[in-house]
Structure 1
Amino acid sequence: MSTTRVPASPAPAPLRRAGTGALAALLASATLGVMAGAVISPVVALIRDDFDLGAGQAGVVITTHSLLIALSGPLVGALIDRTGTRRVLAAGLVAYAVFGAAGALATGYPALLASRAAFGVAAAAVINGLTVSLLNLWQDRADTVMGYRSTAGSIGGILWPMLGGALGGISWRGPFTVYLIALPIAAAAIWLVPDARPPRGTSADTAAGSTADTPVRISTLLRRTPALLWIYALSLTTAVLLYAVMVFVPQRLARLDVTDPLAVSVFIAVTTAATALVGLVYGRIRRHLRYYPIFLVGLTLPIAGFAILAAATRPWMLLAGTPLLGLGMGLIMPATSVLVGTAVPRQVRGRAISYLTSMMLLGQFASPLLLGPIAGPHGIRAVFLAAAILAALIALAAATAFRPDRLTAAASVDDTASEFSRVDGADVRA
């Protein structure tokens, strides 16, 4: 398929390179993403008893923020594209602390849900703001810093829930105070992180058929870059797989008479730790492998992992399967973020990343809804078998669809650092 090229106009000045302090502040922000729901998971049963809730109502306490992150993400992304990243990130961190901790003061179920809904919008600002900041400020090291981001998120997913569990031993309101850690991180972000404001009136705007005062339309980029749609779909489906571990491994352990909360947390922590380890070396991996084999390896590992989980009849066998899932996700998550971030011009990077985040959260939200009905009549092992089949289908689609001759690259509407027409040293197709 032929592609129409738009004559390039002078490129905007590159963004100022940030220092180590800015990177530390952004990675500290990254620790808050995974723990958004996990930090209060240990006390959901206590909340249910205190407010006299049903099991479904108690579960909504955990999932409300995820749904709001997904729904508000595109609006947050548009705000980032219009105003820059630092304001959105700083405001999001402050709101994250305020509305997250507000749950500790809730006197009823409606008030608790309202605080969780507002918290979800704040979390969307944090997740998207820090991701776009990393991509904008370290364009030449995107693979490395996004690997670090994955590691930081995984560490936060282990550290903060453990603190929340300890505080939950005092009161179910205790874990909500963990969210206040976002306040000093907000101060660090304001002080150390430079604003990654998108340039205005560049060739990207002209190419989209708009003026200097109107941002380039994301719909235009999606039409010109169908690879983005594929990556969004991949993010959604792999999130379904990842949350199958979070939701159904504890239930399988209960069937195997492993019910101690600390023991159960070890199985989940192993998955997260494997993701963290891959993140530390992801930049080196990218120096040796192109995206195509990275995706294939990242999608093949969950097939093996879920197959082991489906066959497991002893707890140690489950412990052998979960790390494979973590390793696979450790490859896929930074790869999708970098691909989306570098496949679009800076003018729409906020929205492009926000859609990726929304797809991931929708996948998490949908995972128990899609796989749960299998567990009732067929058992948890059938859920893992279904997840292995789904992973195999995704890998097959990647092997046949995510290839240079199957994807249409977008026209180059912004020649700055080859960030629109080129990824991985070649077109987005590569």
Structure 2
Amino acid sequence: MQSSASKPQSAAAGSQQANKVSMFSQPIGVWAVVFASIIAFMGLGLVDPILPAIATKLHASSSDVTLLFTSYNAVMAIAMLITGVVSSRIGMKWTLLTGIVFIAVFAALGGMSNSIWGLVWLRGGWGLGNAMFVATALAAIVSMSKTGVAKSIILFEVAVGLGISVGPLLGGELGSISWRGPFFGVAGLMVLAFLLLTILMPKRAKLAPAGQPSAVKKKGSLADPFRALKFRALRTFGIAAALYNFGFFTLLVYAALVLGHLGLDEHQLGYVFLGWGLMLAFTSVFMAPKLQKRFGTLPSMVVQLLLFAATLFVMAVWTTDKAVIIVMVVLAGAFLGNNNTLITTAVMNAAPVERPTASAAYSFLRFIGGAIAPYLAGKLAEWFNPHMPFIVGGAFVVIAALYLLVNTKHLKHVDDAESAH
């Protein structure tokens, strides 16, 4: 009895010790993955400032250009289902390195493309690499971290925010030389990421899913993510994220095209989305944990989603006002940063499954929304008017908030699970 009782006390003591440790007190392997994640997420933002230039140079319509994000996200969504199988067989480190190689190769080939449709297909290959990297990176950071799940996720969101914010700035600079520059830039940066992970990340034997010794680590199955989605909380967060991503990618892709039509060049677009990404990174680290602690995960998420929807509706009304669009894009970064950290933390605690499996199942659903949204936004502008994509994107975000509220009783446990870590 005494030995049994001491286990919860030991776990609680470990949790308290993890909470006292700074988020930045991490092993060198964690920092290698974080740095590689920054570079990987630069790839998303690098392309954003050059969308108008790609449309002009390759004689493509706005809806054609949005397919660069649709193919990327569609392949990511499907590939998320196999990341667990791959990483359980070849290890997290080799899964990350394989993803990096895919990104580097397809980005370089994209830089050599001469047609919009060739570029669309190559972006799909880029998405495959990104799926292998992103799904595994979060699990690797959580596994190697000594600061607990919440702080590990915040650190990952910092990498996401920095990558997304610096990416447009670099993309704008390289894109001002040639629209091909950002593609070759990504390829070069991923070579650097490959070298860093090869040297600094621990070998496969030292890695295992959090809380599970490597000696008993089991091989994943293609059915694992689908089994994980049987848990209502995880499924609910995934569906909400798919709906919310309609707004996210309307902002990221369509707003860039609107600003391009309003006269912003690659440099200026880079600076606008730099501001957006910095707001996203800042709130991910400094605001989201405070909101979660004071108001709880679900109420905080709902408020942030509604505030984000409000920025999209404002853009729908003042679509031709350059200053309003710029201010709303940057402001939206604050709400997106808060929501990203809140929902990612919740997903890690939503179901009693391994974290890589939970991440894969959730990401499969959310990237379905990310695949449909960019192309739908471009088509809505063609079918109706330039205001309609923002209206529809905002409506989907409101539906996401309402969907979470309807399922409140199935989601309350995520805060209890977080406090136990």
Match of 1:270 in 2: 275
Q: Which amino acid aligns with 2:233?
A: A
Q: Which amino acid aligns with 2:332?
A: L
Q: Which amino acid aligns with 1:90?
A: L
Q: Does 1:336 find its partner at 2:343?
A: yes
CA deviations over 1:340-367 (Å, ceiling 9, x no partner): 2233456x43232123223333222211
Q: Which runs of 5+ in 1 are unaligned?
A: 1-9, 206-211, 410-419
- 1:151-300 equivalences under 5 Å are 151-179=158-186, 180-194=188-202, 195=204, 196-198=207-209, 199=212, 217-223=224-230, 225-253=231-259, 257-281=262-286, 282-300=288-306
CA deviations over 1:119-164 (Å, ceiling 9, x no partner): 2211111111111112223375322232232232222223233323
Q: Which amino acid aligns with 1:401?
A: N
Q: Give yes or no for contact 2:88–2:219 (8 Å, CA) kept in 1.
A: no
Match of 1:417 in 2: none
Give 1:236 deviation, angstroms.
0.9
Q: Which amino acid aligns with 1:329?
A: L
Q: Which amino acid aligns with 2:395?
A: I
Q: Does 1:423 find its partner at 2:417?
A: yes
Give 1:85 deviation, angstroms.
1.5
Give 1:425 deviation, angstroms.
3.5
* Larger proportion of helix: 2
CA deviations over 1:175-232 (Å, ceiling 9, x no partner): 22212212222222233333432447999x9xxxxxx777694444432x21000010
Match of 1:368 in 2: 374
Q: Does 1:390 find its partner at 2:396?
A: yes
Q: Which amino acid aligns with 1:425?
A: S
Q: Does 1:379 find its partner at 2:393?
A: no
How many residues align structurally? 393
Report the aligned-residue RMSD.
3.8
- 1-side partners of 2:352 and 2:146: how far apart? 12
Aligned with 1:90 (options 78, 94, 97): 97
Q: Which amino acid aligns with 2:196?
A: A
Q: Which amino acid aligns with 2:141?
A: L
Q: Give yes or no for contact 2:283–2:334 (8 Å, CA) kept in 1.
A: yes
Q: Which runs of 5+ in 2 are unaligned?
A: 1-6, 19-24
- 1:83-162 equivalences under 5 Å are 83-106=90-113, 112=119, 115-138=122-145, 140-162=147-169
Match of 2:361 in 1: 355
- 1:402-413 equivalences under 5 Å are 402-403=408-409, 406=410
Give 1:277 deviation, angstroms.
0.9
TM-score (ref. length: structure 1): 0.77
- 2-side partners of 1:201 and 1:149: how far apart? 23
CA deviations over 1:300-329 (Å, ceiling 9, x no partner): 211332232233364333344334422221
CA deviations over 1:372-420 (Å, ceiling 9, x no partner): 45434553334333333333332223223223xx4597xxxxxxxxxx9
CA deviations over 1:3-61 (Å, ceiling 9, x no partner): xxxxxxx99x99xx993422322221222344334424455566567666666655544
Give 1:421 deviation, angstroms.
11
CA deviations over 1:330-349 (Å, ceiling 9, x no partner): 12212222222233456x43
Identity of aligned residues (%): 18
- 2-side partners of 1:382 and 1:286: how far apart? 33
- 2-side partners of 1:119 and 1:130: how far apart? 16
- 2-side partners of 1:54 and 1:372: how far apart? 9
